[in-house]
C-alpha cells in the first residue's frame, strides 16, 4: 500500500491534533500494514516523543525527518517542481493531517479536518472571538484549498461533517466520519500537582482560551466553595487565544488559593488526575469532537459538559449536558454529583461503558478502509 502520512504533528503537538496522528498511526501499525507506510516528519522543532513512545521502535515503517522549517521545505519543493509525494518516494496516496497542507504533485490526497471553528471569526467583526480575525481568515482559506484538493475528507464527528460542507464547500459524498479514540492514556503515575492527602477536587483539562469557557467554570467553582464544599479545582491546559479573561478573573477570585493551574502534564499524570477527581467540569462553547470528557469517563470520572456542537453527539447520555451559558445548571449538576453518591456512581458506570466504544483501533480501521477505497480507484484508473 504505497501511501504517506504527514506525521509532523505527532512529534511536536501535545494536544488533540498530535494525539490523533500518533494514535491513528499506532492503530494502523497494530493492524500490520506498516511496511507500506511512509511517515513524513520534516520539522526543525525537537520531538517531544521518542520512537519508543510513538510505538515505532520495532516497526518497519519508514519515517523521513528532514530537519528544516516547513516554509523552507515548501520553497525547496517549489524550486525543484516537486511535491511532498515525490520527496517521500512517489506514493499514490498522501494523507494531510494539518489545516496547512504541504504541496502534492500527483498523489491522491486525503485530509483530516478536525473542526471549522475558524470560519466563525473569518471575515467578520461580530464573531465569537475564538481566534484573531486575520488568523481565522488564513485558516479558512487554507482549509478550503485543502477541501478542494482532497478526494476524501476525514472528520471526527457528524457535526463537523455538516460544517465542512457548509463552510468549506465540500460535497457530502466527499466526507467520512472517523471518530477518535480515548484508550491512549497510560497507567497512572504521580501527578504534577501535590495536593494534601485526601483533598477532593474537580478537574478541567482544556487549553485556556475564550472558547473553552473557563470563566464560567470559575464562577461555578466559587459558588461551590461558598456553599461549603471542601474541594479544590485543578485546571490543566496551556495558554490560548483570549486567555487574559480567565487570568484576570482568577487573580480577583476569592477562591484562587484553591485553584491549581498546570500548563502541561504528562499522559500518566493526567490519567492520575482524571481518576482522582470527583468530576470533570467542561463547559466548552464549541468543539469538533471533545476528547477530554471521554478521557475522564474512561478513567471513571463523571462529566458535566455542554449540550452544543459535537459534544452531545460524542458524549450522548453518558455526560450531564447543559447550555454552555447556564451557570446555574452547571452549579446544580455539580452539587448533585458531589452530594448524591449513588447518582455519581451511576454516572461513572454509564460513562465508563460509553467510553469503551471509542478506541484508536476503530479509528485506524475506518481510516484504512478509506485508504483502500482510494488506492483501489487509483489502480483501476491506472489499468484503464
Give the pLDDT confidence score for residue 122 in this predicted structure. Answer: 94
* Pairing outcome for strands 232-236 and 152-155: unpaired
Residues with pLDDT less than 70, the chain: 1, 31-35, 383-384
The confidence score (pLDDT) of residue 187 equals: 81
pLDDT value, residue 14 = 87
Chain-centre distance for alpha carbon 278: 23
Q: Where in the chain is the domain with CATH 3.40.50.2000?
A: 3-181+359-383, 201-355
User: Is-contact 7 39, C-beta < 8 A?
Assistant: yes
H or E element that contains 122:
none
Strands 37-40 and 3-6 come out as parallel
Contact of 93 with 107, CB cutoff 8 Å: yes
Helical (H) or strand (E) element with 277: none
The set of residues, in sequence order, having a beta carbon less than 8 Å from that of 123 and lying 6+ positions away, is: 133, 137, 140
Q: Which residue has the cell 476503530?
A: 362
pTM of the model: 0.94
Angstrom distance (rounded) from CA 180 to CA 358: 6
What residues contact residue 126 under an 8 Å CB cut-off, 6+ apart?
none
Nearest CA-CA partner of 241 in 217, 200, 216, 208: 208
Q: Which CATH architecture has domain 3-181+359-383?
A: 3-Layer(aba) Sandwich (3.40)
**Which single residue is written with the C-alpha cell 477505497?**
373
Q: Which three cell numbers stand for residue 53?
A: 513512545
Question: Can you give the pLDDT at residue 56?
Answer: 87
Q: Are strands 232-236 and 37-40 parallel, antiparallel or unpaired?
A: unpaired
Question: Is 360:24 a contact under the CB 8 Å cutoff?
Answer: yes
Q: What is the CATH number that goes with domain 201-355? A: 3.40.50.2000
Amino acid at each position: 500500500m504505497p501511501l504517506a502520512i504527514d506525521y509532523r504533528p505527532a512529534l511536536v503537538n501535545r494536544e488533540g491534533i498530535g494525539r490523533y496522528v500518533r494514535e491513528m498511526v499506532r492503530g494502523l501499525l497494530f493492524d500490520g500494514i506498516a511496511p507500506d507506510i511512509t511517515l513524513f516528519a520534516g520539522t526543525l522543532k525537537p520531538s517531544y516523543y521518542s520512537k519508543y513512545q510513538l510505538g515505532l521502535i520495532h516497526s518497519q515503517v519508514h519515517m523521513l525527518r528532514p530537519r528544516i522549517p516547513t516554509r523552507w521545505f515548501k520553497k525547496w519543493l517549489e524550486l525543484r517542481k516537486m511535491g511532498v509525494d515525490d520527496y517521500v518516494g512517489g506514493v499514490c496516496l498522501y494523507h494531510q493531517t494539518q489545516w496547512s497542507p504541504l504541496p502534492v504533485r500527483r498523489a491522491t490526497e486525503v485530509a483530516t479536518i478536525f473542526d471549522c471553528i475558524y470560519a466563525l471569526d473569518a471575515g467578520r467583526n461580530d464573531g465569537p472571538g475564538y481566534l484573531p480575525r486575520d488568523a481565522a481568515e488564513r485558516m479558512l482559506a487554507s482549509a478550503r484549498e485543502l477541501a478542494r484538493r482532497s478526494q476524501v475528507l476525514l472528520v471526527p464527528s457528524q457535526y463537523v461533517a455538516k460544517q465542512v460542507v457548509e463552510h468549506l464547500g465540500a460535497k457530502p459524498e466527499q466526507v467520512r466520519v472517523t471518530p477518535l479514540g480515548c484508550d491512549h492514556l497510560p497507567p497512572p503515575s504521580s501527578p504534577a500537582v501535590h495536593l494534601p492527602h485526601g483533598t477532593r477536587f474537580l478537574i478541567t483539562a482544556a487549553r485556556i482560551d475564550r472558547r473553552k469557557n473557563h470563566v464560567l467554570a470559575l464562577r461555578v467553582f466559587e459558588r461551590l466553595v461558598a456553599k461549603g464544599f471542601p474541594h479544590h479545582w485543578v485546571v490543566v491546559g496551556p495558554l490560548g487565544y483570549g486567555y487574559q479573561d480567565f487570568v484576570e478573573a482568577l487573580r480577583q477570585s476569592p477562591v484562587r488559593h484553591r485553584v491549581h493551574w498546570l500548563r502541561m502534564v504528562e499522559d500518566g499524570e493526567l490519567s492520575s488526575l482524571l481518576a482522582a477527581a470527583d468530576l470533570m467540569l467542561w463547559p466548552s462553547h464549541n468543539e469538533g469532537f471533545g476528547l477530554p470528557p471521554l478521557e475522564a469517563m474512561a478513567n471513571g470520572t463523571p462529566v458535566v459538559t455542554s449540550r452544543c456542537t459535537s459534544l452531545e453527539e460524542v458524549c450522548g447520555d453518558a455526560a450531564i449536558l447543559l447550555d454552555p451559558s447556564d451557570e446555574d445548571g452547571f452549579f446544580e449538576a455539580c452539587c448533585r454529583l458531589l452530594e448524591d453518591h449513588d447518582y455519581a456512581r451511576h454516572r461513572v458506570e454509564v460513562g465508563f461503558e460509553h467510553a469503551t466504544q471509542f478506541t484508536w483501533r476503530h479509528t485506524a480501521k475506518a481510516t484504512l478502509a478509506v485508504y483502500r477505497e482510494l488506492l483501489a480507484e487509483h489502480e483501476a484508473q491506472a489499468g484503464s
